[in-house]
Amino acid sequence: MFRSIFNTFANCFKIPELKSRILFTLMLLGVCRLMAFIVIPGLDGTALANFFKENEQSNGGLMGMYNMFAGGAYQNCAIGALGIMPYISATIIIQLLTAVWPKLSKLAREEGGRAQIIKYGRYLTVLICLGQGAYFANGWQHPQTMFHGFQGQLVLINSPIWYLIQTVLIMTTGTMLLMWLGEQITDRGVGNGVSLVITIGIVARLPRAWTALMDMFHPAGGVESDYHLMGTGVMLVLLLAMVIGGVIAITQAQRKIPVQYAQRAVGRKLYSGGTSFMPLRVNYSGVMPIIFAQSILMFPGPLCQWLADVAFKNVPFLQDFFRGIAMQLGYGSVAYLSVYGLMILFFSYFWVATQFNELQIADDLKKNGGYIPGVRPGQGTSDYLHKAMSRITLAGAIFLTVIAVIPIIMRNAMNIPYDVSQFFGGTSILITVGVLLDTMRQVESHLMMRHYDGFLKKGRLRGRF
């Protein structure tokens, strides 16, 4: 098996076009990683990086998750601190607006309209970068408020206004450069460039996760470890294998709806009908419900804490009320996990409702002379697809919920470090596995075109889309 995989990778470099694409992709991904270490002028990135290494609690929550997606650029105060996430957020917003706003929906169907929508997404990316950049710059300017327990200062510039303008512009430029590099990888490299930029940032955290895993069994200072090396190690390996296997299975799982095409007469030619199938993916929404849920849940807890400490600090009743809500919605609490799971279920159906248009699919089938056996064309087909998609979406939503809460439960119940637990579930494992499957599928297609064997002798990799 390993020999076959090694031979497959060797074959990749026997095809000149594929070899150039792979090397081009690796080169640009190296540039993306370099941007995570170039510190913004006027900031002490070493101080914040050391604080993140010494304080495990700083790695959890919102900023820890964002730092993971940025490949550690945030803790280094680097030019790529915003990462590619503003572009992802802008793309999601534009997609949702296209589904619910008739004007954008009409523009998407026109010739050249898709390019115009992409341009709108880039404009929105700049606006999001300016807003998030200002938030990050303000947090670095007042690190004691952003990072509990931090001592000292991060800003080395005396002029606050110049510091704010310079930092925001540099981070915005860094995100736009990452976006451009991702687009170049998509056009001239292998795989989806934007997804690979996120994945390389997540994978870059593996050495830190490995170090944290070793510290679990061999703590510094001669302290006896609470973990049994053999038992805990075997359990973690088995759990990781189960999680990765489950993610691969659900990511590629689909329900095949049979479609029959009737005979058609085009001019004097008679085309015979055929049988095909329509694939409905179980995890149709991908990782989007988790991202939506995390994005919304980042606000209630800090907002209630601010209301308790600032707005109503002189009103004891309201202060205790909002402080209690903030504690209940704290990261990892039972209430947080319950609301988190329900929101993932809701957004799974919300994404399907906005992106899966069963009416248009039924209309296209009817126009092309296709029908589902035993189902009436038109409205009957639409109702059938709606019911089928609702049922399989429930399975995908439950799977997403389980995968999303695994890192939080492991961290709370087993006291496993955040960097280690993130590789046993959550958005990191979903993104990594999904992107690697998609990249392998593209590489395999190049190999099959040149009559080389793919990664699997039996069957072929199925893409995510």
Say yes or no to pLDDT of 35 above 50: yes
Give residues with Cβ within 8 angstroms of 270, minimum separation 6: 263, 264
Q: Which residue's structure tokens are 């992106």? A: 355
Residue 47 lies in a domain: yes
Cα 61 to Cα 423: distance, rounded to the nearest angstrom: 15
Residue 82 lies in a domain: yes
Average confidence (pLDDT) over 316-335: 80
Cα 455 to Cα 9: distance, rounded to the nearest angstrom: 9
Residue 276 lies in a domain: no
Whole-number pLDDT of residue 167: 92
Residue 118 lies in a domain: yes
Residue 10 lies in a domain: yes
Query: Domain tally for the chain?
Result: 1
Show the domain range for 95. Answer: 1-204
Worst-scoring range by mean pLDDT, 56-65, 73-82, 416-425, 455-464?
Answer: 455-464
In Å, how far are 73, 101, 226, 355, 392 from 96, measured between CA atoms? 29, 8, 48, 8, 22
Say yes or no to pLDDT of 86 above 80: yes
Cα 302 to Cα 228: distance, rounded to the nearest angstrom: 37
Domain CATH for 90: 1.10.3370.10
Asked if 320 and 337 count as a contact pair (C-beta separation under 8 A), the reply is no
Give residues with Cβ within 8 angstroms of 198, minimum separation 6: 69, 83, 84, 85, 88, 431, 435
Region for 131 from its dihedrals, namely left if φ exceeds 0, alpha if ψ lies in -120 to 50, beta otherwise = alpha
Decide: residue 109, CB within 10 A, 0-12 exposed, 13-18 middle, 19+ buried: exposed
Say yes or no to pLDDT of 171 above 90: yes
SS3 129: helix
Asked if 283 and 400 count as a contact pair (C-beta separation under 8 A), the reply is yes
Residue 198 lies in a domain: yes
Say yes or no to pLDDT of 17 above 80: yes
Say yes or no to pLDDT of 305 above 60: yes
Whole-number pLDDT of residue 111: 78
Decide: residue 224, CB within 10 A, 0-12 exposed, 13-18 middle, 19+ buried: exposed
SS3 275: strand
Say yes or no to pLDDT of 127 above 80: yes
Residue 89 lies in a domain: yes
Give residues with Cβ within 8 angstroms of 415, minimum separation 6: 226
| Residue 465 banded pLDDT, cuts 50, 70, 90 | very low
Cα 121 to Cα 134: distance, rounded to the nearest angstrom: 20
Written as six digits, the tokens of 184 are: 């170049």
Average confidence (pLDDT) over 77-81: 90
Task: Pick the closest to residue 444 from 2, 1, 9, 110 (CA basis).
Answer: 9
Whole-number percent of the chain with pLDDT over 70: 82
Residue 61 lies in a domain: yes
Asked if 84 and 132 count as a contact pair (C-beta separation under 8 A), the reply is no
Residue 49 CB neighbours (<10 A): 18
What's at 390, amino acid-wise? S
The end-to-end CA distance of the chain, in Å, is 27
- What b/e readout covers 317-329, taking b as 16+ CB neighbours within 10 angstroms? eebeebbebbeeb
Asked if 177 and 167 count as a contact pair (C-beta separation under 8 A), the reply is no
SS3 39: strand
Residue-wise pLDDT for 213-268, tens only, equals 776 666 655 555 555 655 566 666 766 777 778 888 888 888 888 888 776 666 66
Decide: residue 164, CB within 10 A, 0-12 exposed, 13-18 middle, 19+ buried: middle
Average confidence (pLDDT) over 54-60: 58
What's at 310, amino acid-wise? V
Which H helix or E strand runs over 256? Answer: strand 254-261
